[in-house]
Structure 1
Amino acid sequence: MVFPELPAVPGVLTSRDIRRTGESIAAAQEPDGALPWFTGGHTDPWDHVESAMGLTVAGLWDQARDAYIWSAKTQRDDGSWPMQIRQGVIENADADTNFCAYLATGMLHFLTVTGDRGFVADLWPTVRAGIDFVLDLPRGAHGEIHWSAGESGSSGEALLTGCSSIYHSLGCALELADRVGDPRPDWASARRKLGGALRDHPEAFLDKSRYSMDWYYPILAGALRGRAAHAHLERHWGEFVVPDLGIRCVSDAPWVTGAETCELVLALDANGNDAAANALFTAIQHLRESDGSYWTGLVFTDGKRWPEERTTWTAAAVILAADALSRTTPGNGIFRDAQPS
């Protein structure tokens, strides 16, 4: 087995730094393969997959496989996952549609990096069931997908960030479907309609414009590209970007966060804004700890890291951003390669 070269961003992080960050994620992994937010914390299916993607880029392929096997073993009969689990105990049994779709992104990324077709074929029924669960739920008039489902049915409300991520996951699922010989034109139709909702019908989504994710996620997910994406980023840049520190999680709080900053780096990279992407990636390194882990965020008015957690998914976002900027592993374009439909 040939392992990939590890990313390095000159003057910012070495390949050894990236490996240490991957090892910080692996250190939190539970015996059953779950990747909680931090040791002893809860696991959610989306951040679990994000962390597995970080392990993959860091060359920790066995640990990533264990994480994806956990996803297969914990999937419910209807194709969904509980929203929150702590050490095997369900804490929130509702399903988040974005969470249930994201395994497709993780598995396409794993296949692209490792070339392990057999493992991905084994996991394909799990991916397919998750996507079918999401698309079998009632949808809004413009194709938007309700964000959660529980015993009383779907929430009846759609989130722009969540739907953007689902849009990206549908693109990954379609590529996987073609690669395994199980084409799904119905998924392509749902993705096209969802893309139209994201671009043309902001009224279809709950107003979460305070949150930076609602700003950059349509670009990260591939629903918006080119001049329109550049103009959209410029329009709200001053609301969220704090020079030399990163970006705010919410526009009206003095709190910069590592994961959101690195996701914006990925969005900027995907749209060709290389200088801004590199500057933000460099800026957010103040959250790095000596063992390679990353604090979730910083309240910059008092200089305190908050919450007092070093989260696996923040570390994973850093690794994925480093890979995109350095063009290192074959999976470095998992977000850049997404195209509008």
Structure 2
Amino acid sequence: MSADVPRLEGLLSARQVAATARSIVGAQEPSGAIPWQSGAHTDVWNHVEAAMALLAAGEVEAAERAYAWVPTVQRQDGSVPMKIVGGEVADASSETNMGSYLAVGVWHHWLVRRDSAFVRRMWPVVRRGLDHAVSLQLPWGGIAWSQEWPDGAPGRVNDEALLAGSSSIHHALRAGVALAELVEDPQPEWELAGGRLAHAIRDHEDRFLDKAEFSMDWYYPVLGGAIRGEAARRRLAERWDTFVEPGLGIRCVSRNPWVTGAETAELVLALDVVGDRERALRLLGDLQHLRHGDGSYWTGYVFPDRVNWPDEQTTYTGAAVILAVDALSLSTPGATIMRGTTLGPAFAEIGLECGCPSADVLERPRLS
């Protein structure tokens, strides 16, 4: 076992984290795809998150196979199908945040492995994915959340934006800009798009689709980096009692008595971002009631009925737990991927009535 497998004394050992990683590998298909569970569908966002977790836990070969799969499903315009089952497209429509998230995974890989050949190999795939997302930016700054793909061709754009999805794209754009500087292929349009997107998330939340009952809309603007500092701490405090069930985790939807492991682990990451280590550790401990004997994690728990539901252990839940352990333990060089401390300064905010100020660019390492 690698000496730097993430671990937290008294909470999860390196051996336990390694078991969680093995449960993810066990679901991986020969193609490299990592479905939600064995036999279920794969989406690229959760697939990349699983690849990041595998790399953090020392499962390098499995992570490399996972990343090699992504270019095989990306379309020429940079989009990816929403659902793939057993190598076949089950839902051809595309979500912009799915096609974008590879940028975060590749930057995380660079932090952990410092593999310049990998970065250069994946760069065209990252560039197409982010170019596609930016091409669907709405006039007010949000990113259109999806596009239909009838008859194998791009169709109607759903010209509404999701706050959680756009917040994830904000993170991906920052990672993309860092990668662009690394490979010396500047993408100033991504910085402009990121500035407009940051402004929309911070100041025009009312223009996004109303999904306020979902916990992801609560914490993702913090996790994705658009809201930081005291504003981030205030945001997490405002709806804490709405979503957090002490001793169990957080609700996925405020009106449903159901806590979910992935959302809880992501809130742990958001708390780490704002420096609230005490509550992050407590929540990570709370969700361990979802741990299965083989190291995998149940998706959720309906607390009035005291039953795990649905009847599944999902790879994305285990992946989120591994990344949370890494963030809190600082075990690997990629542990700060959500904090954004390796990404340079935030985007210069650009509003609808604002000009377009230029942002100072932090010098970052370039590939030789």
Normalised TM-score (structure 2): 0.90
Q: From 137, 140, 143, give the equivalent of 2:138.
A: 140
- Residue 326 (structure 2) pairs with residue 327 (structure 1): no
> How far off its partner does 1:202 sit?
1.1
Alignment match, 2:298: 295
| Unaligned 5+ runs, structure 2 | 150-154, 348-368
Alignment match, 1:286: 289
Poorly superposed stretches of 4+, deviation over 4 Å: none
- Residue 93 (structure 2) pairs with residue 90 (structure 1): no
> How far off its partner does 1:204 sit?
1.5
- Asked if the contact 1:248–1:255 (Cα under 8 Å) also holds between the matched residues in 2, the reply is yes
Cα offsets for 1:183-217 (capped at 9, x unmatched) = 11110110011000000001210000000000000
Alpha-carbon separation, structure 2, partners of 1:340 and 1:165: 14
Alpha-carbon separation, structure 2, partners of 1:289 and 1:254: 21
| SS across alignment from 2:54 | helix
Alpha-carbon separation, structure 2, partners of 1:250 and 1:35: 26
Alpha-carbon separation, structure 1, partners of 2:233 and 2:249: 18
Alignment match, 2:161: 158
Q: From 171, 187, 190, give the equivalent of 2:190.
A: 187
> How far off its partner does 1:243 sit?
0.4
Alignment match, 1:45: 44
> How far off its partner does 1:4 sit?
6.2
| SS across alignment from 1:264 | helix
Alpha-carbon separation, structure 2, partners of 1:252 and 1:176: 40
> How far off its partner does 1:153 sit?
2.1
Alpha-carbon separation, structure 1, partners of 2:192 and 2:306: 48
Residue range with higher mean Cα deviation, 198-207 or 144-153:
144-153
Alpha-carbon separation, structure 1, partners of 2:37 and 2:117: 30
Cα offsets for 1:8-41 (capped at 9, x unmatched) = 1111100111111001000000000000000000
- Residue 259 (structure 2) pairs with residue 256 (structure 1): yes
Alignment match, 2:31: 32
Percentage of pairs with the same residue? 50
> How far off its partner does 1:340 sit?
3.9
Alignment match, 2:231: 228
> How far off its partner does 1:3 sit?
5.8
Q: 1:255 to 1:181 in 2, by over 3 A?
A: same
Residue range with higher mean Cα deviation, 179-188 or 317-326:
179-188
| Unaligned 5+ runs, structure 1 | none
Q: 1:257 to 1:284 in 2, by over 3 A?
A: same
| SS across alignment from 1:157 | strand
| SS across alignment from 1:43 | coil
Alpha-carbon separation, structure 1, partners of 2:13 and 2:320: 16
| SS across alignment from 1:85 | strand
How large is the RMSD of aligned CA atoms in angstroms? 1.2
Amino acid at match of 1:84: K
Alpha-carbon separation, structure 2, partners of 1:226 and 1:78: 36
- Residue 272 (structure 2) pairs with residue 274 (structure 1): no
Amino acid at match of 1:149: Q
- Residue 202 (structure 2) pairs with residue 204 (structure 1): no
- Asked if the contact 1:140–1:204 (Cα under 8 Å) also holds between the matched residues in 2, the reply is no
- Residue 122 (structure 2) pairs with residue 123 (structure 1): yes
- Residue 175 (structure 2) pairs with residue 172 (structure 1): yes
Alpha-carbon separation, structure 2, partners of 1:3 and 1:181: 33
- Asked if the contact 1:4–1:59 (Cα under 8 Å) also holds between the matched residues in 2, the reply is no
> How far off its partner does 1:116 sit?
1.4
Alpha-carbon separation, structure 1, partners of 2:233 and 2:129: 33
Alignment match, 2:357: none
Amino acid at match of 1:41: A
Q: From 169, 191, 215, give the equivalent of 2:218.
A: 215
Alpha-carbon separation, structure 2, partners of 1:86 and 1:62: 22
Alpha-carbon separation, structure 1, partners of 2:295 and 2:183: 36
Normalised TM-score (structure 1): 0.97
| SS across alignment from 1:156 | strand
- Residue 282 (structure 2) pairs with residue 308 (structure 1): no
| SS across alignment from 1:316 | helix
Alpha-carbon separation, structure 2, partners of 1:57 and 1:247: 25
| SS across alignment from 1:256 | strand
Alpha-carbon separation, structure 1, partners of 2:346 and 2:8: 29
